[in-house]
Each structure stands twice: as C-alpha cells, then as structure tokens.
Structure 1
Amino acid sequence: MDLVALVRTVSGVVRRTRVKSAPAVWQRSMSSPASLSLSQQGKVADNQPPESAPLLPEDADVLKRLEIEFANEMPIDRQMMIRFVRGYKTEKARWETTVTKLREALEWRRKTQADSVLNAPLEREEKYFELWPHDFHGVSKRGHPIYVEATCAADPNVLLESFTVEEQQHFHIQTMEMLALIKRQCERDTGLRTYKHVVIMDLGGLSRRHMSSKFTGPVQSQINIDQFYYPESLQTLCIINAPFVFRMLWGMVKPWLHPLTAARIKILGADYITQLKEIIAEDQIPRYLGGNCKCCPAGKTLQELHGDKFKAFVDKRDRLLKAEAAAEDGTKSASMSTS
C-alpha cells in the first residue's frame, strides 16, 4: 500500500457464517462510515479485536433484513455484511444507504473479479514488490494482522512506466484480499470475529516528486476503493519517518478522507518504536523497523528485503488458501453428516 496507501490502506472464522443457502465468499479493507466505540459495541477484553463484540439489537435487525434483501444475490460473506451494517450506522437514511452501498460493492467485486484475485499470480508480481516494497507481518496486541510498506521507496515516474493506474489498483485489490485471507485465518485460530487490520506506513524518502499527479492521482482512486468497497477494515494506520514535506501531501490527501477514517491515522514521532510497542508486541515488530522479530535479518531495510518478502507472500498465500479450502470442506462434511 502507499500514500496511495495512506489512504488506500493505506486495507475465516472458526466457522465462517454465511447467508442462508449461499457458500462463503472472500471479501475485505480501509474504513469510511461510522466506527462504534467499545461501549456502543459491547465490552471485549483488551487483547481482543473490538469488532468481535456482539452486534447491538438494532444492528442485528439490519443484518437480518440484509440477508433477506440479498438472498438471491451472489454468495455474500457475513463479515462483509456486518462491516456495512456497522459502517453506515450513523447515516440518516441508514437502511437505504446500507443497501445501496452494499449492492454497489458487490457489483464492483464482480466487475474487478476481486473474489478470485488470489487464485492465480498477477503478471509481474515480483516486480511490483520491488517497486513497492511491502510485507504482511505479525499481529497487533488485539489480534489484528499488520501490513507494512515502504511507501516512498516507489519512484512515481518509474512506477507509472512499469504499471498503469489500473494495474496498480489491481495490485491494491490483491493486497486487500490477502489481508482478508489472513484475517479469516485469525478468526479460525481464535474464534473471534476479526475484520480489521493495522497498517504501518514508512514515509522515509518522501519528496516533492510525490506531489505530482502521477502519485496523487492513483492515491485518490485507491482511497475511494477502500472507503466505498472496504468500509470498517482499518483499525489503525501508523505513519513513521514522515519528513517536513509530508505536511504538504497530508494537506492534499486529508480532504479526500472521511473524518472517521482520518481519525484512525496516527503520525508517529522520531521515537516511533516506543509508540508502536503500545499496540504491537516487540516480537511482532520486524527488525527493519526496530523490533526484535527474528524472521528478518538484522541491518537490512524492507526495500532490500523485497525479494524475500515476495517469496514469503507467495508461500503464505498458498498455505492459507489451502487451509481455507480444507476448512470449507470440513464444514461441508459436517453439514452433510448431520443432515
């Protein structure tokens, strides 16, 4: 993800619950509409995802109505519906807005083939990792998957010469779907509803070249993807190593954000590692950010590790897809044996 992720984001359950008579589908990230406080959602332990709290009665009612409204639609993941139920809670015309936005998101997913984007490699995946170094690394103290990217390692000119805006968007969708896949595995492991993630965006290297439309244009388009099609997916976005010029870029980007999304973005100071450790255990923070996770060699940057991170991404993607397929088969077998 990038500043395109700043906002792009930058972005499975023990048993995935589905709309009646419809198999589960993968869905997924950032946030836009309403975010409920813990007191509104119900209390959960400090080491649990806040979204794991039970639905309030009025939210459960909207969810039931959605299941009826979309009974004949493509298979819809229940967690996706819950994100839309909670995400548009504060809208004046709540029901009409939720139905409209969910219908638009489903149509967008069909059009972009988001449900199958992880099933086969995209063209020049490794090259994209090289130009846009990123990493899916560990979980926060509350159980949210962590996504890290060296946003400004990307040269806007080189990036656009190598990938069209549409191709960049497709890689962004891949990133969001990968995060969704990881979150479903977290749900299977813990039994707790988990549909949010944490982003760490390293802006070291940000310069005036990132102020051009070659960079800000794709950023805005991906902001819209996250806000309209992946509401309620971002828990926190931590920006580190932001230089002075970031103030200019932030002034351009902030108006594109829903106020509740902007509120989830934290700009950390020089001692960012101390602030990161408030929400992430040190052994879950990679060494290239100053943590002590042993999975990364010491003394190397994320950009220098892009080849290793690409291989790790491919391995994790394949492993989690197999685990999900096995879980789905197990659920089907259990259902058949009890019918």
Structure 2
Amino acid sequence: MSGHLDRFARPCFEGVTSNDDRKDRKSDFEVSEEDRKTRIGNLKKKAIKASSKFKRSLKKKSSRRKSGISLSIKDFRDIEELQTVDAFRQALIAEQLLPARHDDYHMPLRFLKARKFDIEKAKHMWDNMIQWRKDFGTDTILEDFDFCELNEVLKHYPQGYHGVDKEGRPVYIELLGKVEPDQLMRVTTLDRYVRYHVQEFENCFAIKFPACSIAAKRHIDSSTTILDVQGMGYKNFSKAAQDLVKRLQKIDGDNYPETLYRMFIINAGPGFKMGLKAVKSFLDSKTASKINVLSSNYQNKLLEIIDASELPQFLGGSCTLLIREVV
C-alpha cells in the first residue's frame, strides 16, 4: 500500500520543533483531531515564518537569529553538482520552465539525480512535472482540499510521522499488516485519497522539511521510513490496493523524486524477503540500496539510526504513545 519508494510523506510535524515544544510532543497516533489541527496550525505558522526568514538570510549570505530560532543551516554543495544545477537552471529559464517557487537549488538537484545528471532527460521530466501541477491543481491544493475523512482512513491505513532520526530527518511509519484496502475504499475514494497523498507531499515541502532543516541546522528534504509488514497477507493485495499503489507510484516517481533517504522493512518473513528480492532486481542499484529488510530482530538496527527517545515503544524505543489509530 505504500506506493512508490520515494514517497513517504505524511501529516503532522512532531519532532522538529523547539526544546519546549518537544517536552510535550505526541505522535500522529495519539492526538485528537481537534488537538492535531490546533498544533499543526500553530507549527505551520512557526515553520512558514522561520522558513521565510531562512530564505531571505540565504540571499544575503548571512544567518540571523530571531524569536529564539537559529537560522544558521549547513548546506554543503558539491562543486560539480553546483555547476550542473546552474546549467540545468539556465536551460529551464530559457524555456520559461522555472517558477520562482521551485527555484531553490535543491529541487532541480533532485530531478537531476533522478535522471543521473542528464540535463535533457531531467528537463523533460521537469517539464512534465510542471504541466502535471497545472492540470492537478497542485499549487493550491493546501488551501483547496479538505480531507475530512482522515480519522476514518487512519483506522484502515495506520500511518504517520513520529520524531526524527539521528540526522534530523523525519521518521515515517506505516503498519502495512494492518491495512484494510476494501474498508479504506468504503470511507474514501481512490481519487480523494490520491489528492490527500499529493496534499501531504506539498505539506512536507512547505512545512515539515523546512522545520526539520531549521531544527537540525542542515538542509533536509528526505525521510527515513519504517514499514512494518507483520501480518501482511493476500488481503492487503486486493484490486483496490493495486489500483491505489499504481496511481501513487506514477505520481511519486514523476513528480517527487529522491525524497526517500532510507527504508526499513521490519518483521519480514522468508516469503516476503524472497518476493522483495525479485522486486529489487527491477530497481536501479541506488534505489535498491536504500531498502533494509529485517526480520523480528530489528530493534538494534533501528536504534543505530534513531534515538530511543524518538522511537515509539512498540518498535523498541522509549517513547510512549497511545496507538489510537493502529490497534
């Protein structure tokens, strides 16, 4: 059910705020709908304000400290990548394909990486992305779309962010063995879920990644993902599930490349490992190298990447939470 390997971007922004905010942090699995909206709204204002200040500080080649938020972010750039991005930018500008909102260095770089730094191929991919955004209404989806059935959806598709890894990337968790595709399609529609999926990607780039970057003092535009496949079986591969995966996979691969840093698939039995091995043979080596398949003895590996205080107890960490949408 998880879609393309470079997806994994979901709601809520816990684990990327100030020290005071972190003291009473909850996860997506714990908060009520009213609390979730209030806290997201408050953090959205903070993140957008901080992100705006951060962008202005980059233009002036200086860092500022306002409202107690440090805006000094390390952003080391490879000289060859820098030159290629500049050449790519000039090619896009020449064809009026570079809106100001996407001219941030890192977004063109992700598309170049997705096409192995072939500028012509990356330009074609970029052109298609710009057209898709116009057709889909992506630029205004944060304001235009209300996914009012979210709480019901989470009952049949347990998912959410919880904390950050040791390098400051948001950690996204899905419990795939508990997904109920047929029930999911009774509380929403395929088209509405796809719009929600795109909206949450836009949320990530507008709020979550900038907030994580500010908190970690380094540029962040990718996530660490944990997929728990315990209990996964044929019921999870219904026609509805397959249709949804295909739609998401197409959107993610074409429009949101290089946003997965690493993936851990846990509680994977022998059959699942064999199936994934076959799937990996169709993936490029870079993507395949991001996937770590672990059995039930996964806790130590996760704790190498994620501090215990940032990992929920049910995955071997020390962070307590009520798994309201998971059980």
TM-score (norm 1): 0.68
Post-superposition offset of 1:263: 2.1
Match status 1:178 vs 2:203: yes
Partner of 1:223: 249
- The alignment partner of 1:115 has SS state of helix
Match status 1:273 vs 2:299: yes
Partner of 1:166: 191
Post-superposition offset of 1:9: 2.8
Which ranges of structure 2 fall in alignment gaps of 5 or more residues? Answer: 10-50, 60-72
Q: How does 1:294-305 map to 2 (within 5 A)?
A: 294=320, 296-297=321-322, 300=323, 303-304=326-327
Aligned partner of 1:138 among 140, 143, 163: 163
- The alignment partner of 2:108 has SS state of helix
- Preserved contact between residue 147 and residue 200 of structure 1 (Cα < 8 Å): yes
- Preserved contact between residue 288 and residue 301 of structure 1 (Cα < 8 Å): no
Change (3 A) 1:247 1:202: same
Q: Summarize deviations over 1:55-83 as a string: whole Å, max 9, x none.
A: 33332433442563365654332132221
Q: Summarize deviations over 1:104-158 as a string: whole Å, max 9, x none.
A: 1122222223333333532312211222111211111111111111123121222
- The alignment partner of 1:250 has SS state of helix
Letter in 1 for 2:120: E
Change (3 A) 1:246 1:160: farther
My pick for the range that moved more, 102-111 or 211-220, is 211-220
Post-superposition offset of 1:204: 1.6
CA distance in 2, matches of 1:175, 1:73: 23
Match status 1:212 vs 2:210: no
Partner of 1:84: 111
Letter in 2 for 1:4: G
Match status 1:115 vs 2:139: yes
Q: Summarize deviations over 1:221-271 as a string: whole Å, max 9, x none.
A: 212222221111110011112244424753675466444222211111221
Fraction of identical pairs, as percent: 23
CA distance in 2, matches of 1:17, 1:200: 35
Match status 1:250 vs 2:273: no
Letter in 2 for 1:178: N
- Preserved contact between residue 222 and residue 259 of structure 2 (Cα < 8 Å): yes
CA distance in 2, matches of 1:219, 1:8: 13
My pick for the range that moved more, 8-17 or 276-285, is 8-17
Match status 1:124 vs 2:149: yes
Aligned partner of 2:314 among 283, 288, 310: 288
Q: How does 1:68-107 map to 2 (within 5 A)?
A: 68-69=93-94, 71=96, 73-77=98-102, 78=104, 79-90=106-117, 94-107=118-131
TM-score (norm 2): 0.70
- Preserved contact between residue 147 and residue 199 of structure 1 (Cα < 8 Å): yes
Which ranges of structure 1 fall in alignment gaps of 5 or more residues? Answer: 21-48, 305-339
CA distance in 2, matches of 1:81, 1:151: 32
Post-superposition offset of 1:206: 0.5
- The alignment partner of 1:146 has SS state of strand
- The alignment partner of 1:170 has SS state of helix
Change (3 A) 1:89 1:163: same
Aligned partner of 2:54 among 11, 15, 28: 15
Change (3 A) 1:281 1:266: same
